[in-house]
Structure 1
Amino acid sequence: MEYIVVAVSAAILVFLVQSCLPGHVARRALWVLLLAFVARLAIHVLVMRTVLPYGGDNYTYAQRAMEVVAYWKREGFQFVTSDQIPALYSVAVPCNVFALIMYVCGGSALLACTSVIALMACALCIVIYRFARLIGADERSSFRLLVLIAFLPAFLLHTSDTFKDGFNVFLVVSCLALAASNVQKFDIRKVLLLAPLLWALWNVRPYMVFMCGLPLVLGFVGARRALPFCTLALLAGTLASFTLFSGAAPNAAVETMQQQLELGQSEAVRLANAETGSGVVFDDGGNPWSAFLPKLLYTVFSPFPWMGGSVVLQLAKIETLIWYYLIFCAVRGTRQLWGQDRRVLMLLLLFIVPCTVVYATSMANIGLIFRQRMPIVMVVSLLAAVAWSQTRRRPGQAPSRSLPASAATGRARRRVTTG
């Protein structure tokens, strides 16, 4: 049964590629994404659980999924939350998904679970392609980004086992893509689709719902062209400040976010994270906002080339070099997007900047930040794709736009006639 789940996952991938990408792009993307799918299964079998046992969370989530299966056998099939099993706090969706696969397969079925994660990773590559096209990247640059993301080392590693990072990145990027699409053309169906995505994200990594809050607000009100850009930005900031810091009527969601932020920034947690092999201790006197600049540098640029550590940390330096290149290109892409679509640029920056700042205040472990900043890497890479598109155009050349066949034929005939 486990191999049937793997085959079904591969079949769904083929369907997604064929239905979500243009025909000529789908033919190329299919082989790339099938290779990325198989690569994740191979890494799971040959590396993750044998040669280079890695992680901790992946083992924990698999164990919790088995607890969910046991609960179903006692109480009946249902969506199990932390109310039934307290250990499921903030990871209910991944554990229930893994549990469903294990229940169907009648065992741990780790390969089948990994195939679903690999499917989600490949689906994210499709979302990234469409997102890049949406914000102005050309077809070639968007496809180049799809290939890069499919085999990005950190993303590849953390979607080759039962980690929750694949769920997190897919949901975050999908929410931002819907928000950006709404900025350009408002559609109530996109707003309705956000509801299940945000619910799932809340049950994967709750604080990321708040990190997406500002872009989502801008995506909703930004479609109203009667409001000027500066007014929209000010309104988004005001709404976010009121939501996060108002003490008049705090709700459970805001309290949960505040608790998570305080926990992540607490000195005890940061010292505990710093005790591992890739831990970092800053001379901040216990204040998470002190020594902010070095924390920010570590958050964005570590691991540095001269650092020692585990084999995984050394392999992470390969991705870090790619990350440096993406940052360089993203700066150019930001300048280009500033002149083309400032609303979309603001939406992306409203995720990148606050998320980076919050992570910097809790910085204590390079390995942890290496995983946590994956959504930031994905969003920054979109700006890089815009820069790649501009680089390939001649100076002063306008972005190419596809024409209907009839229009293209008519234009060709006019050229012949006038020539």
Structure 2
Amino acid sequence: MEYFIVAAAAMMLAFLVHANLDAGVARRVLPVLLVAFIVRLIVHVLVMRSGVIDYGGDNLGYEGRAMEIVEYWKRNGLQFVTSEDISSLSFVAVPCQVFAIVVYLCDGPAPLACTAVVALLACALCIVVYKFARLVGADDRSAFLLLVVTAFMPAFLLHTSDTYKDGFNAFLVVASIGLGVSIARRFDVRKMLMLVPLLWALWYVRPYMVFMCAVPLILGLVGLKKVFSFRGVFAFSVLLVSALLVFGGIYESAPIEVIQQQLDKGQAENVLRANGDGGSGVGFEDGGNPWNALGPKLLYTLLSPFPWTQGGPMLQLGKIDVFIWYFILYHAVRGARRLWRHDRVTLLILLSFIIPGAIAYATTMANMGLIFRQRMPIIMVTSVLTSVAWTKNLDGKEQSAGDVVSRV
């Protein structure tokens, strides 16, 4: 059954490519993404589970929680399980639930099949990135190049080659912000409806990311237009009230309180000290205030590990990824300058996620290995600006490629 799920995931990938891209584009994209899919399975078997590297641990924890969910299902029937049912789920219910479905179908542990699902999600994100780039004005060549770079970014590849939740988080965040840009171009109730399951799932992956996406979505719904969009404000109000009712009913605390608790926990001295353990830990002289020394923290959040940084094998491998990130960041600045001249609304929507997101992560900065994973959504959104810089003839209008996510 495990190999059947792997094959089904590969077939689903082919379907997603052909369903969301034009025939000519699909012919070029499918081979790339099939290779990316297969490489992730190979890395899973030969690297992640072979003992070649000593890395991770939370991936195994998610599998353990998936097994707990399966046992819960056997006792109480199939249902969505939250932290109220199994306390260890905390804020990772969606990834663990997905893995539990695979485990249930395979009637036992199935790490390869679970990884195939994660790899499928990673490849689906590459499709979203391509369409996102086309939406903001990038040409086909630049958007395709960005897709290839995204598919094989070392950090993204590594953390979607096993049962980590980072692939879920990146997909949901990028898709949500992409929809915000799309709504700013042309309001559509269907796009609004698509946001609901995306934000719901994101709440069960990383709740604070829902609020980090809130400002870009507000700007997208209002549209930052000269004419006040009553329809956009009304639609957002309905979405916000619905989200508060859903999320507020999940936990004892109100959503804002839940986010504050998460932020306080991430900034707590004992948590920072624990995260700083190991060769890639970083300490700052901030007097115990997480908002002090923000400049150095931002520097480490966005640009570490530096070329001269000493550390273990994984940190050294991380330098390959960070060099690619430097390249992306340089061209993203160029792309932002071009977009400022052609489409300031889109630029402001993107920056409204990138800048607050970087600052929020900086206040919890304690480990270069950890931030290496956490900043992936920021890198993904920033890379869309890079595709603008690579485009020869920028068109600020909506591209024929359509919405960022349609059937993905």
Q: Normalising to structure 1: TM-score of the pair?
A: 0.88
CA distance in 2, matches of 1:253, 1:272: 26
1:399–1:347: structure 2 CA closer, same or farther, 3 Å change rule?
closer
Equivalent residue, structure 2, for 1:22: 22
1:373 aligns with 2:379: no
Equivalent residue, structure 1, for 2:403: none
1:334–1:321: structure 2 CA closer, same or farther, 3 Å change rule?
same
1:5–1:225: structure 2 CA closer, same or farther, 3 Å change rule?
farther
CA distance in 2, matches of 1:258, 1:46: 40
Cα RMSD of the aligned pairs, angstroms, is 2.1
Equivalent residue, structure 2, for 1:318: 320
Cα contact 1:295–1:361 (8 A) shared by 2: yes
**C-alpha distance after superposition, 1:225-245 (max 9, x if no partner):** 5139xxx9xx99xx9xxx9xx
- Which of 165-174 and 277-286 deviates more? 277-286
Distance apart, 1:73 and its partner CA: 1.2
Distance apart, 1:281 and its partner CA: 0.8
**C-alpha distance after superposition, 1:21-54 (max 9, x if no partner):** 1111100100000000000000000000112242
CA distance in 1, matches of 2:204, 2:365: 23
**C-alpha distance after superposition, 1:201-225 (max 9, x if no partner):** 0000000001001001111111755
1:99 aligns with 2:68: no
Equivalent residue, structure 1, for 2:165: 164
Superposition pairs of residues 45-60 of structure 1, within 5 angstroms? 45-50=45-50, 51-60=52-61
Equivalent residue, structure 2, for 1:74: 75
Cα contact 1:184–1:223 (8 A) shared by 2: no
Equivalent residue, structure 1, for 2:130: 129
CA distance in 1, matches of 2:398, 2:369: 43
Whichever residue aligns with residue 272 of structure 2, its letter is R
Higher CA-based Rg? 1
1:67–1:399: structure 2 CA closer, same or farther, 3 Å change rule?
closer
Q: When the two structures are aligned, how many residues end up with a matched partner?
A: 382
Cα contact 2:156–2:376 (8 A) shared by 1: yes
CA distance in 2, matches of 1:401, 1:288: 41
Cα contact 2:136–2:397 (8 A) shared by 1: no
- Which of 219-228 and 148-157 deviates more? 219-228
CA distance in 2, matches of 1:76, 1:119: 27
CA distance in 2, matches of 1:345, 1:35: 32
CA distance in 2, matches of 1:202, 1:225: 33
**C-alpha distance after superposition, 1:345-364 (max 9, x if no partner):** 11000000000001111100
1:401–1:274: structure 2 CA closer, same or farther, 3 Å change rule?
closer
Equivalent residue, structure 2, for 1:277: 279
CA distance in 1, matches of 2:253, 2:85: 22
Give the 3-state SS of the residue equivalent to 2:291 in structure 1.
Answer: coil
Whichever residue aligns with residue 15 of structure 2, its letter is F
Equivalent residue, structure 2, for 1:35: 35
CA distance in 2, matches of 1:63, 1:225: 52
Cα contact 2:41–2:115 (8 A) shared by 1: yes
1:174–1:402: structure 2 CA closer, same or farther, 3 Å change rule?
closer
Whichever residue aligns with residue 11 of structure 1, its letter is M
Distance apart, 1:289 and its partner CA: 1.2
CA distance in 2, matches of 1:283, 1:190: 45
Q: Normalising to structure 2: TM-score of the pair?
A: 0.90
CA distance in 2, matches of 1:11, 1:182: 31
1:344–1:251: structure 2 CA closer, same or farther, 3 Å change rule?
farther
CA distance in 2, matches of 1:192, 1:224: 22
CA distance in 2, matches of 1:310, 1:119: 30
**C-alpha distance after superposition, 1:139-179 (max 9, x if no partner):** 00000000000000000000000000000000000001111
Equivalent residue, structure 2, for 1:344: 346
Cα contact 2:279–2:311 (8 A) shared by 1: yes
CA distance in 1, matches of 2:31, 2:354: 31
Equivalent residue, structure 2, for 1:411: none
Distance apart, 1:254 and its partner CA: 0.3
CA distance in 1, matches of 2:396, 2:286: 48
Superposition pairs of residues 381-396 of structure 1, within 5 angstroms? 381-389=383-391, 392-393=392-393
CA distance in 2, matches of 1:92, 1:223: 35
CA distance in 2, matches of 1:320, 1:83: 39
Cα contact 1:186–1:223 (8 A) shared by 2: no
1:296–1:402: structure 2 CA closer, same or farther, 3 Å change rule?
closer
Give the 3-state SS of the residue equivalent to 2:5 in structure 1.
Answer: helix
From 249, 256, 259, the counterpart of 1:257: 259
Equivalent residue, structure 2, for 1:142: 143
Whichever residue aligns with residue 375 of structure 1, its letter is P
Q: Which runs of 4+ in 1 moved over 3 A?
A: 397-403
Distance apart, 1:189 and its partner CA: 1.0
Distance apart, 1:308 and its partner CA: 1.4
Superposition pairs of residues 228-239 of structure 1, within 5 angstroms? none
CA distance in 2, matches of 1:189, 1:77: 29
Give the 3-state SS of the residue equivalent to 1:52 in structure 2.
Answer: coil
Superposition pairs of residues 111-260 of structure 1, within 5 angstroms? 111-222=112-223, 225-227=226-228, 252-260=254-262
1:399–1:288: structure 2 CA closer, same or farther, 3 Å change rule?
closer
Superposition pairs of residues 396-415 of structure 1, within 5 angstroms? none
Asked which structure has the greater RCO (Cα within 8 Å, sep 6+), the reply is 2
CA distance in 2, matches of 1:79, 1:346: 37
Equivalent residue, structure 2, for 1:65: 66
1:78–1:251: structure 2 CA closer, same or farther, 3 Å change rule?
closer
Distance apart, 1:276 and its partner CA: 2.2
Unpaired stretches in structure 2, ≥5 consecutive residues: 245-251, 401-408
Give the 3-state SS of the residue equivalent to 2:282 in structure 1.
Answer: coil
1:402–1:80: structure 2 CA closer, same or farther, 3 Å change rule?
closer
Cα contact 2:102–2:114 (8 A) shared by 1: yes
Equivalent residue, structure 2, for 1:288: 290
CA distance in 1, matches of 2:177, 2:154: 23
Distance apart, 1:56 and its partner CA: 1.2
1:225–1:11: structure 2 CA closer, same or farther, 3 Å change rule?
farther
Distance apart, 1:377 and its partner CA: 0.3
Cα contact 2:276–2:282 (8 A) shared by 1: yes
